[in-house]
Amino acid sequence: MEENSLPEKSYDTIVVGGGVAGLTSAIYLARSGQNVLLIEKNKELGGLVNSFSRDGFHFEAGIRALENAGIIFPMLDDLNIQLEVVKSYVSVGIEDEIINIETIHDLLKYRDLLVKLFPESESEVVAVIKVIRKIMKHMEVLYGIENPAFKDLKKDRNFLFKKLLPWLPKFIFTVGKINRMNMPVEDYLKTIVKNPSLRDMVAQHFFKNTPAFFALSYFSLYLDYFYPKGGVGKLSEALKEKLLEFGGEIRSETTIVEVLAGACLVRDQNNLSYKYDQLIWASDLKTLYKITGTEGLLPGIQEKFESTKQTMLENRGGDSVFSLYLEVDEPLESFRRIAHGHFFYTPSKVGLGETHREELYGLLHNFGIVSREQLLSWLDRFIQLNTFEISIPGLKDPSLVPAGKTGMIISLLAEYDLFVEVRKAGWLSEFVTEMENRMIEVINASVYPMLKAHIVGRFSFTPLSIENRVGSSEGAIVGWSFQKTMPVVHKIQFSDRSVLTPIPSIYQAGQWAYSPAGMPMSILTGKLAADRIVKKMKARN
Ligand SMILES: Cc1cc2nc3c(=O)[nH]c(=O)nc-3n(C[C@H](O)[C@H](O)[C@H](O)COP(=O)(O)OP(=O)(O)OC[C@H]3O[C@@H](n4cnc5c(N)ncnc54)[C@H](O)[C@@H]3O)c2cc1C
């Protein structure tokens, strides 16, 4: 840092990263009376919880609908935030079989769908459903009460004695069960399902090596999704308003490029510096470790920081996503007849097999000698065999589209390295167009036959767009990859420790701080980091 860059101002706590994790931390610190600054790289807040409009169509840039997970509604309650929401029902479909999931009993519909497609594997389907049902019971325990982090246990004795204390033994029992299902879902399914296509149908839309419990709990999560009227970005807007109401300060369009931990300073892209007493880093953790200088800290802390840094840098962000946005001159009703506005659809029951693993890794390994034709032939299969997450915001809130039209987002999990290689080879925009064309063809030929002829506008976001917008390593959307070692806390009973870094005045929060992550965990870690600081300050005074 240059000597002339005297700190702009000094704060009790600076929070870097204005996604939902950073917003949560900043709000709770401001509410406790702290002098807080939230610093965000982009103009708008919310990070991956963000909505935007184009040509009168409303879209989500990141997460398509929100999960309560016993966290979001308790937090909104606690902060007295009124958010108008609707249920975001999910449909699941394979080939011509589509089911709407509205209650837990629809698990039977899912069983019937799989049996219809794989009659030769009926007993294996029954085994999978049995496990999912068991996990749903565990989920009822996990999310069965409002998360205590958002309750005032001193004041709310009713909650403490009537809900929390009776819940704790069940929670401890459930945690034991969960921890026994931490193996990758692909491996777990191999122990009960021999049919590789059936295994793929159950698991191919999860991140590679997702822990079995987390993946198979999704049937419960489908029932948990809700959608704020006006789009998911309304949550981020409401959090921003709350932060300002509590007197928090926000600096957007400000990127932190250096942290001087010994001097308790952060520096932005314009060489302005800001002094903190405590810092919460609520964005990409590899970035924190790359840009932090430890001069002036105790040698023991420096050492610990260096070894954690090495582990962090050896790991990578998890799978990313490719999202195609379509503006369609066709009324919502045409789509409503087919499926709900949040739809996991697989056009072929064959399954991806090794297409997105060994085959892809082979192509990437030999990228210099792979012809465009070879790559596009792989892309054909990758798109035909994949599972798509299709979101139609207008089916959840019809005010989000021009009359008589439909906006939709079709996405699939995508490998960041592939887009890096194609960009290096100089044909990224052509490749993106090839991908878009294939996605439209496949969806048009299967589930929405009226689609192609009525598209009036289209664009897409790649893993590189995500990396660029929110600074996520490898374009990851839920933090660390499950394919390597996990450099952060990944056991629920230790989640409270997930916010600690080797430097006592620096905390971490958000999708990089705990695994498996996602929106609710990002919010929870944001709150846990704030709680740690509030407690520390109280102990000092
Ligand atoms: C397509 C998609 C679907 C998803 N679906 C689900 C789902 O179904 N369920 C679920 O739970 N989760 C889902 N997620 C993931 C979820 O949205 C994220 O995990 C969560 O929103 C992360 O919040 P965060 O605050 O931790 O991080 P982010 O949202 O990444 O926020 C980090 C913020 O820090 C800012 N920043 C970065 N670097 C700097 C810097 N140097 N200086 C200043 N600011 C900086 C960024 O601009 C960003 O605003 C999905 C995500 C996507 C993209």
The pLDDT, as a whole number, for residue 6 is 67
Any domain includes 164: yes
Using the mean position of ligand 1's atoms as its centre, give its distance from the Cα of residue 49 in Å: 6
CA-nearest of 34, 19, 22, 151 to 535 is 34
Q: Establish if 189 belongs to a structural domain.
A: yes
What distances in angstroms separate CA 537 from CA 154, 435, 444, 520, one per listed residue? 19, 52, 58, 26
* Ligand 1 centroid, distance to 230 Cα (angstroms): 19
Residue having the nearest C-alpha atom to atom 35 of ligand 1? 17
Which of 222, 254, 270 is a domain's end point? 222
Nearest CA to ligand 1 atom 47: 470
Task: Looking at the structure, tell me whether residues 205 and 286 fall in a common domain.
Answer: no
Confidence of residue 3 (pLDDT cuts 50, 70, 90): very low
**305 and 178, same structural domain?**
no
Give me 484's structure tokens: 């390597």
Pair (323, 283) in one structural domain: no
DSSP state of 225: E
Q: Give the CATH number, domain containing residue 48.
A: 3.50.50.60
Residue to probe by mutation, ligand 1, list 63, 225, 481, most atoms within 8 Å of CB: 63
Q: Is residue 526 part of a domain?
A: yes
Please indicate, yes or no, if residue 356 is contained in any of the structural domains: yes
What pLDDT sits at residue 182? 86
Tell me, yes or no, whether 254 and 189 share the same domain.
Answer: no
CB–CB of 284/471 below 8 Å? yes
Say which residue the tokens 């198979």 belong to. 216
Average pLDDT for residues 331-357, to the nearest whole number?
A: 97
The answer on 310 and 281 residing in a single domain is yes
The total number of structural domains that make up the chain: 3
Output the residue whose Cα is nearest ligand 1's atom 46: 470
CA of 419 to the centre of ligand 1 (A): 20
- Which of 255, 391, 519, 527 to mutate for ligand 1's pocket (most ligand atoms within 8 Å of CB)? 519
CA of 211 to the centre of ligand 1 (A): 20
CA of 402 to the centre of ligand 1 (A): 28
Boundary of a domain, candidates 426, 442, 473: 473
Q: Whose CA is nearest to atom 8 of ligand 1?
A: 63
**pTM for the structure as a whole:** 0.96
Domain housing 241: 7-56+232-315+482-540
Shared domain for 323 and 311, answered yes or no, is no
Task: Dump pLDDT digits (tens) for 231-259.
Answer: 999 999 999 999 999 999 999 999 999 99
Q: Give the pLDDT confidence of 5-35 residue by residue, as tens digits.
A: 667 789 999 999 999 999 999 999 999 999 9
Does residue 329 share a domain with residue 308?
no
How high is the pLDDT of residue 480?
96
Which of 66, 416, 478 is the pocket-test mutation for ligand 1 (most atoms within 8 Å of CB)?
478
- 80 found inside a domain: no
More confident residue, 135 or 266: 266
Parallel/antiparallel/unpaired status of strands 7-16 and 36-39? parallel
Q: pLDDT of 59-105, one tens digit each?
A: 999 999 999 999 999 999 999 999 999 999 999 999 999 999 999 99
Find out whether the beta carbon of 256 lies less than 6 Å from any atom of ligand 1: yes
Nearest CA to ligand 1 atom 33: 17
Q: Are strands 249-251 and 36-39 parallel, antiparallel or unpaired?
A: parallel
Q: Is residue 64 part of a domain?
A: no
62 C-beta closer than 6 A to ligand 1:
yes
Alpha carbon distance 204, 217 (integer Å):
14
Question: What CA–CA distance (Å, rounded) separates 11 from 273?
Answer: 12
261 and 194 fall within a common domain: no
Least confident of 118-132, 204-218, 292-306, 432-446: 204-218
Indicate the average pLDDT of the chain. 95
Final residue belonging to a domain, choices 473, 493, 517: 473
Residue 327: inside a domain: yes
Q: Please tell me whether residues 203 and 311 are part of one structural domain.
A: no
Split at pLDDT 50, 70, 90, the class of 468 is very high
Q: What's the 2 CA to ligand 1 centre distance in angstroms?
A: 31
Which residue has 């600076």 as its token pair?
14
- Please indicate whether residue 396, judged by its CB atom, sits closer than 6 Å to ligand 1: no
Q: Which atom of ligand 1 sits closest to the CA of residue 513?
A: 26
**The 3-state secondary structure of 258-311, one letter per residue:** EEECCCCEEEECCCCEEEEEEEEECCCHHHHHHHEECCCCCHHHHHHHHHHHHH
Q: Of all atoms in ligand 1, which is nearest to the CA of residue 520?
A: 11
- For atom 41 of ligand 1, the residue with the nearest CA is 256
Digit-coded pLDDT (tens) for 326-340: 999 999 999 999 999
**What is the Å distance from ligand 1's center to 237 Cα?**
15
pLDDT-derived band at 177 (thresholds 50, 70, 90) equals confident
The finding on whether 48 has its CB within 6 A of some atom of ligand 1 is: yes
Residues 341 and 395 grouped into a single domain: yes
CA-62 nearest atom, ligand 1? 53
| 15 in Cβ contact with 36 (< 8 Å) | yes
Instruction: Determine whether the shortest distance from the Cβ of 334 to ligand 1 is under 6 A.
Output: no
Q: How far is the CA of 519 from the centre of ligand 1 (A)?
A: 8
Give me the pLDDT at residue 138, please: 87
Does the CB atom of residue 19 touch ligand 1 within 6 A?
yes
Q: How many C-alpha atoms does 45 have within 13 Å on its Cβ side?
A: 29
pLDDT at 354 > cutoff 70: yes
By the 10 Å C-beta count (0-12 exposed, 13-18 middle, 19+ buried), 17 is classed as buried
Measured at the alpha carbon of residue 336, what is the angle toward residues 391 and 55, in degrees to the nearest 5? Answer: 55
Is the pLDDT at 38 greater than 50? The verdict is yes
Residue 101 CB neighbour total at 10 angstroms: 21
pLDDT of residue 454 exceeding 70, the answer is yes
Residue 69 placed within a domain? no
* Same domain? 147 vs 290: no
Pair (111, 199) in one structural domain: yes
Which positions ≥6 away from 487 have C-beta within 8 Å?
285, 308, 311, 312, 314, 315, 480
State the pLDDT at residue 5. 60
Residue 4's pLDDT is what? 45
CA 378 to centroid of ligand 1, rounded, Å: 30
Asked whether residue 1 carries a pLDDT value surpassing 80, the answer given is no
Ligand 1 centroid, distance to 90 Cα (angstroms): 22
What is the C-alpha to C-alpha distance for residues 30 and 530, in angstroms, rounded to an integer? 10
